[in-house]
């Protein structure tokens, strides 16, 4: 077997950024969601994200969950964490920062992380478990996403961890429910979360994700401008002069792929999510 390659910080960042950019493009795109601009409202620049079907909604939640929680290969990016963690690390190494071009990326990554880490209380009813009076659950938005995203992703036999999490949440609220009963109530949670909470907040989330994608664009645009050479005699897939810190052949292939994504630009235009979709879902104001 050959020796394991050692990549520079810039080469590792290149690989990580390319993975994250393509992950974002798989979420913030016109095939998955539709932006409806409110031309007749007092704020015509505001938009609402619409899912055409529940399948589009579920795929949005699955891909979002992967982006913010699922760990990738540390051997590939040198980061033991999710795409969001990879982007946070890139804001520290910032190997492609030219005249502060990393600024928008950092602020947009911080904004999504802050949204996810915010603790919120919702009131839910679980008729399957004979809990009809409504119970208040207080956890982070990311924990709500883990429940909803995993339920959308897996069949019941693969939801043991989610069931354990819900059982603990219910026990903390004074309801000791046998673990084997929890899967029977997952449709109740789906009605509250996937079909209510995250439909309401999908506009805000789409804006946050799109801002990160545009942050990546602004971060990498100066490097693209410096590197792109039209008609350059190079392999067909690449028309770039490599920065001096991109030396390994494999990392050069990743660099070309990353620059091609920058050349193509984000799938969605910049937009501001409707302010009416950034307040509280009905599960929150139902407590008042």
Over the stretch 263-283, which tens digit does the pLDDT of each residue have? 999 999 999 999 999 999 988
Sequence ranges of the domains in the chain: 9-117+199-275, 119-194
pTM of the model: 0.93
Percentage above 70 pLDDT, the chain: 93
What's the rounded Cα separation, in Å, for the pair 185 and 167? 11
pLDDT in tens, 240-260: 899 999 999 999 999 999 999
Return the higher-pLDDT residue of 89 and 286: 89
What's the rounded Cα separation, in Å, for the pair 48 and 281? 15
Residue 232 has pLDDT above 70, yes or no: no
Return the higher-pLDDT residue of 1 and 158: 158
284 half-sphere exposure, CB direction, 13 A CA radius: 15
Average pLDDT over residues 1-17: 83
What's the rounded Cα separation, in Å, for the pair 268 and 77? 26
pLDDT in the model for residue 237: 54
- Who contacts 93 (Cβ-Cβ below 8 Å, separation ≥6)? 9, 10, 13
- Who contacts 12 (Cβ-Cβ below 8 Å, separation ≥6)? 77, 78
């Amino acid at each position: 077997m050959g020796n394991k390659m050692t990549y520079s910080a810039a080469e590792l960042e290149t690989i990580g950024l390319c993975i994250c950019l393509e992950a974002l493009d798989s979420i913030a795109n016109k095939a998955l969601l539709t932006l409806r601009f409110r031309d007749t409202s007092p704020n015509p620049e505001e938009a609402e994200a619409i899912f055409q079907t529940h399948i589009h909604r579920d795929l949005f939640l699955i891909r979002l969950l992967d982006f913010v929680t699922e760990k990738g290969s540390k051997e590939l990016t040198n980061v033991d964490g999710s795409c969001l963690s990879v982007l946070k690390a890139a804001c520290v190494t910032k190997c492609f920062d030219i005249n502060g071009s990393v600024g928008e990326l950092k602020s947009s990554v911080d904004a999504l992380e802050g949204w996810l880490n915010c603790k919120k209380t919702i009131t839910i009813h679980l008729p399957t478990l004979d809990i009809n009076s409504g119970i208040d659950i207080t956890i982070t938005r990311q924990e709500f996403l883990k429940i909803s995203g995993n339920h959308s992703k897996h069949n019941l036999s693969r939801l043991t961890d989610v069931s354990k999490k819900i059982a603990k949440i219910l026990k903390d609220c004074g309801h000791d429910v046998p673990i084997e009963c929890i899967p029977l109530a997952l449709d109740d949670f789906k009605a509250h979360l996937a079909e209510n909470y995250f439909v309401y907040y999908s506009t805000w989330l789409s804006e946050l994700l799109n801002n990160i994608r545009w942050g990546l664009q602004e971060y990498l645009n100066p490097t693209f401008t410096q590197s792109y050479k039209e008609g350059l005699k190079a392999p067909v897939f690449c028309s770039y002069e490599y920065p001096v810190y991109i030396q390994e052949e494999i990392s050069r292939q990743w660099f070309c792929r990353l620059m091609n994504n920058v050349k193509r630009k984000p799938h969605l235009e910049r937009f501001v999510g409707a302010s009416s979709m950034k307040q509280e879902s009905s599960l929150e104001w139902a407590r008042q």
